[in-house]
Structure 1
């Protein structure tokens, strides 16, 4: 729980991207939505759902190598129970690529049949990759195409422009910028987006975000904190103690033996993002969103 907003972020290029996607989505047959398997609810963009309309839709839970396998299974079953085509993938290794192509082909069958009835035989199946920033869209396209087809960067929102990429003989993928929704009212989701790197590190309250991450670890997997940072039970009474003791263990000291808490926070954040704390999924299927009243 937080008392004040962590982030309100909707840069001009995000608004422009939304308008562009509204136009591009008219040109595609199947929509592929990429979610972060660690935060399937927090990384699902309501704006994208609105833009999809009635198009055939596939949800991909990406970065499964960083997520808890049991939680990924729960999320896959939960989404499938809603009638959604859902696959768990790892865009870096290519895990799930073949299943994705088969799913696109399956959802495209009615469209292909309509083409054949009209005498159209040569047009490729067109798909679009949608998702929030830094969820792995460009990496997925590179993997599917077998080459560096799009420029990627390890920062939120750094894919430039849009481009069609040919996949095999009968499929084209359109890459798009990541799109965050206009107003992040669900501050727990905002914090988790920040934890995973979907929100740029310079636009959120690091102290607040890290309190939520440490709180999650303390409540759900305290053994991870003990093992990773060599903490003793008496050093884990509260979140402030945990952070300060992590800082001491990692040498985050300034003059006078005072712990540089900001440096300690960044160490824990990097450890989470790099899976050095293990495979941790933050969103659960039975968790209700937390909304902050303004």
Structure 2
């Protein structure tokens, strides 16, 4: 187990209630069922916090609500749903007869764990960045006079440690991935309408040609007036991770 993995497991042990922060666009991809099992096996209360709910439509949210029990929808950056989340935490603490609960926060890199803590506290307590993997170690923070929270670095299950998938769920920085065009090809295949809507370019059957068209539209070129596929691919991935391209 990595050092960060060990930290997260220690946080679970110390917490009374655990918040698993998920990206509303990628629920299944950002769930860590290994940790969920450990949380429930330790008789801890688990709340699924569905962040970035403003990035998806109501139909998508309704499906999540139907498929996932004990969840709260929020947008940490816009402070939406945080009051409801606080109320749910308080209710669970009362049910467990805990006066000063310790709340653990877990989740993939860049799903918004630190932004959530800042929204709950109302001040910038946990460091935040749109760059994946920004939180470097656990942080114990007081959210209110009777509530403490522990932020953790994002930990990815071993079986999901694949660059293409990680960059698409926002868990890996687009600037560091090798062959970003391969991730973009996968993105366009799965979401052609979203790409067309945002960039006003109709995807072709040949996805590589589509990326070249996007490069020319963005005026990203290399020597010889050729399309800069790598730069274009990294921009598309950044736009996707930041939520500019919405479901």
Structure 2 residue corresponding to 1:198, chosen from 171, 196, 214: 171
Distance 1:78 1:45 in 2: 16
Partner residue, 1:217? 191
Which structure 2 residues correspond to residues 36-185 of structure 1 after superposition, within 5 A? 36-52=23-39, 53=41, 54-80=43-69, 85-112=70-97, 123-184=99-160
In the TM superposition, residue 44 of structure 1 has moved relative to its aligned partner by: 0.7
In the TM superposition, residue 192 of structure 1 has moved relative to its aligned partner by: 4.1
Distance 1:79 1:100 in 2: 16
Partner residue, 1:35? 22
Contact residue 16 and residue 103 of structure 2 kept, 8 A: yes
- 2:229 equivalent to 1:256: no
Cα–Cα, structure 1 residues 266 and 49, in superposed 2: closer, same or farther, change >3 Å? Answer: same
Gaps of 5+ in 1: 1-13, 116-122, 281-294
Residue deviations 1:249-289 (CA, integer Å, cap 9, x gap): 12122233321111221232233233333x22xxxxxxxxx
Contact residue 38 and residue 68 of structure 1 kept, 8 A: no
Distance 2:210 2:164 in 1: 19
- 2:238 equivalent to 1:273: no
In the TM superposition, residue 236 of structure 1 has moved relative to its aligned partner by: 2.0
Which of 100-109 and 199-208 deviates more? 199-208
Contact residue 145 and residue 165 of structure 1 kept, 8 A: no
In the TM superposition, residue 51 of structure 1 has moved relative to its aligned partner by: 3.0
Contact residue 37 and residue 64 of structure 1 kept, 8 A: yes
Cα–Cα, structure 1 residues 170 and 184, in superposed 2: closer, same or farther, change >3 Å? Answer: same
Which of 263-272 and 174-183 deviates more? 263-272
Aligned-CA RMSD value: 2.2
Gaps of 5+ in 2: none
Distance 2:196 2:21 in 1: 33
Question: Rg: which structure is higher?
Answer: 1
Scaled by the length of structure 1, what TM-score is found?
A: 0.75
Partner residue, 1:291? none
Scaled by the length of structure 2, what TM-score is found?
A: 0.89
For these two proteins, the number of residue pairs brought into alignment is: 244
Cα–Cα, structure 1 residues 38 and 230, in superposed 2: closer, same or farther, change >3 Å? Answer: closer
Distance 1:152 1:227 in 2: 30
Structure with larger RCO (C-alpha < 8 A, sep 6+): 1
Partner residue, 1:284? none
